[in-house]
Structure 1
Amino acid sequence: MVEFLSNNISTLIALVATGAFAGILAGLLGVGGGIVIVPVLFFVFQGFGVSPESAMVIATATSLATIIPTSISSIRSHNQKGNVDFDLLKRWAVFIFIGVLVGSWLVTRVNGTWLTGLFGIIATLSALNMLFRTGKSALFQSLPGKAGQATMSTSIGLFSSMVGIGGGTISVPLLTLYNYPAHKAVGTAAAIGLIISLPGAATMLILGQSPADAPIGTFGLVNLVAFLCIVPLTVLFAPVGASLAAKLDAAKLKKVFSIVLLITGIRMLLQLFL
């Protein structure tokens, strides 16, 4: 392990920086850390000589594991402001959980190439939404009925767990489409992140089989080295991002980030064909 640390100091610094960056973005823009962590780990692991297919499944599982402590911290913060909708969570929790179990089980079974494509699509759509729909009026006046909400919540759990994100990337824009208050959408998404990340990471840790080319410190599909590098900085820097939000033009920063995310999503999609 000591030899590994000394030989990969630049990579470890990159992982620590990823944690700091993800924490700042979470506090500054309300963007879930997973949307940053997954692509960074995807490319960093390939730097270890890991295949793109293995890198994606390990990045997905490790990202979900990092979301567990950060979502707990975020829930406390949002709950103090009254922005967590527990009534909605009661209606959605079971369906999200079912979606997560199916999605995380699929991650342990499918080729990582499919997950790379799915992440690329979700990242690209998320970036386009941030670029062109921010501030736009809702398409619907209220949430759909029980069947519609069951479909929404199951889909959030399924797709979020399959690409290693906490749910905010999908649930916030989806809720705001239905005229749901943006501040409550962000706060409730933090709680959704915990419902997704905890069972998702546990499933991939227990049922996942480490690929033959997995980097050192990988248990199941979760890489402990990356987890330990990222989590402390993410938790530490989330309040820094929240403080910066009061001083900087978050709208302009969000557009810059959305362009970077768009490029990342397209790059991951191109890797499937190049």
Structure 2
Amino acid sequence: MFGIPSYEIVMMAAAMLGAGAVTGLLAGVFGVGGGSIMVPVLYEFFRLLGVPDEVRMPLCIGTSLAIIAPTSVRSFRAHHKKGVVDMTILKIWAVPVVAGVVVGGFIASFASENLFKTVFVVVSGISALKLLTARESWRFGNDLPGRAAMLVYGLVIGLLSALMGVGGGLLSSMFMTFYGRPIHQAVATSSGLGPLIAIPGVISYVLAGWGKASLYPDVTLLQMPYALGFVSLLGLVLLFPASMLTAPVGARLAHALPRRKLEVAFGIFMLVVSARFLWSMFNP
């Protein structure tokens, strides 16, 4: 299969299933869709299978968004039952977030690989420093800004999330803590952005990569039935089941952790992600 020994395929399949389990857990714990860990894992997986650099990163991101779509729904429902989701914020952000995702999907059709990685490095690095230092001075204000500013923030969150392959939890959680919202509420509310970002994001990446298969006829993973545009159906099948099972477990764990421990865990996670992609930019 794909010219790779069967034992390697078994090992990679096992690794992908494990990554799916971690993805679902992170979706619940941090209110993110798990794309921050899923994209790096998929990046290595597709590299081993010979996917060219030019299309590898968007294929990772499109696949990540496809897996996030159902996982984020379960995560949001689990958090919503706790009664800490701020639906007012989600209603304001709904339209601009979706608009940002569509723009991000358009950019993905021609952007270089390093653009995606740069977004990862910058956003993850800032988030990690904010959470690990726990400095109260890292605030834009004590309450959320007005509606006009919120609409702009929503557009930016949707755009950057589409370029990172994440469900918006990473960006919106950081945004809300910058305005003094408690981490638990930020995490719970952020989980609601997952479906708003992932569903239009998947459609955008399918369209962005629709004509790429013909440009790489020797790359099996870009051809039907293994992929739809920049969405790998093979990756979807391997990661999806495990992530669905562990998302509710992560949500319960998030509400059981003390505030500071949750911040430190989130910060370390983001720092690792930032370092990984920074390294890959100079060591392709």
Same fold (TM over 0.5): yes
CA distance in 1, matches of 2:149, 2:259: 32
Q: Which residue of 2 aligns with 1:270?
A: 279
- Contact 2:32–2:168 at 8 Å: present in 1 too? no
Alignment counterpart, residue 232 of structure 2, candidates 203, 217, 223: 223
CA distance in 1, matches of 2:254, 2:81: 18
CA change 1:17–1:87 in 2 (3 A) is same
Q: Displacement of 1:265 after TM fit?
A: 1.8
| Structure-to-structure mapping, 1:172-187, within 5 angstroms | 172-187=173-188
Deviations, residues 111-130 of structure 1 (Å, cap 9, x unaligned): 22211222222222232233
* Correspondence 1:56 to 2:62: no
Deviations, residues 250-273 of structure 1 (Å, cap 9, x unaligned): 855764664454244223223223
Unaligned runs of 5+ in 1: none
Compare 13-22 and 183-192 and name the one that shifted more: 183-192
CA change 1:256–1:150 in 2 (3 A) is closer
Compare 223-232 and 47-56 and name the one that shifted more: 47-56
- Contact 1:29–1:250 at 8 Å: present in 2 too? no
Q: Displacement of 1:33 after TM fit?
A: 0.6
* Correspondence 1:46 to 2:47: yes
Deviations, residues 115-172 of structure 1 (Å, cap 9, x unaligned): 1222222222232233223887854111112221111110000000111000010001
CA distance in 2, matches of 1:101, 1:125: 25
Q: Which residue of 2 aligns with 1:19?
A: 20
3-state SS of 1:226 partner: helix
Q: Displacement of 1:22 after TM fit?
A: 1.4
CA distance in 1, matches of 2:54, 2:121: 14
* Correspondence 1:68 to 2:77: no
- Contact 2:184–2:254 at 8 Å: present in 1 too? no
Q: Which residue of 1 aligns with 2:201?
A: 200
CA change 1:249–1:141 in 2 (3 A) is closer
CA change 1:242–1:76 in 2 (3 A) is closer
CA distance in 1, matches of 2:175, 2:161: 13
Q: Percent identity?
A: 36
CA distance in 2, matches of 1:44, 1:198: 23
Q: Which residue of 2 aligns with 1:144?
A: 145
Q: Displacement of 1:29 after TM fit?
A: 4.1
- Contact 1:24–1:237 at 8 Å: present in 2 too? yes
Normalised to the residue count of structure 1, the TM-score between the two structures is 0.88
Amino acid across the alignment from 2:125: T
* Correspondence 1:232 to 2:238: no
CA distance in 1, matches of 2:181, 2:165: 25
Q: Which residue of 2 aligns with 1:167?
A: 168
Q: Displacement of 1:52 after TM fit?
A: 3.1
Q: Displacement of 1:85 after TM fit?
A: 2.2
- Contact 1:64–1:198 at 8 Å: present in 2 too? yes
- Contact 1:52–1:113 at 8 Å: present in 2 too? no
3-state SS of 2:274 partner: helix
Amino acid across the alignment from 1:36: I
Amino acid across the alignment from 1:133: A
Q: Displacement of 1:45 after TM fit?
A: 1.0
Q: C-alpha root-mean-square deviation of aligned residues, in Å? A: 2.7
CA change 1:5–1:79 in 2 (3 A) is farther
3-state SS of 1:8 partner: helix
CA distance in 2, matches of 1:230, 1:106: 26
CA distance in 2, matches of 1:178, 1:109: 35
3-state SS of 1:215 partner: helix
CA change 1:256–1:110 in 2 (3 A) is same
Q: Displacement of 1:64 after TM fit?
A: 0.7
Q: Which residue of 2 aligns with 1:191?
A: 192
CA distance in 2, matches of 1:268, 1:255: 20
Unaligned runs of 5+ in 2: none
CA distance in 1, matches of 2:182, 2:257: 23
CA distance in 2, matches of 1:260, 1:75: 21
CA distance in 2, matches of 1:220, 1:256: 35
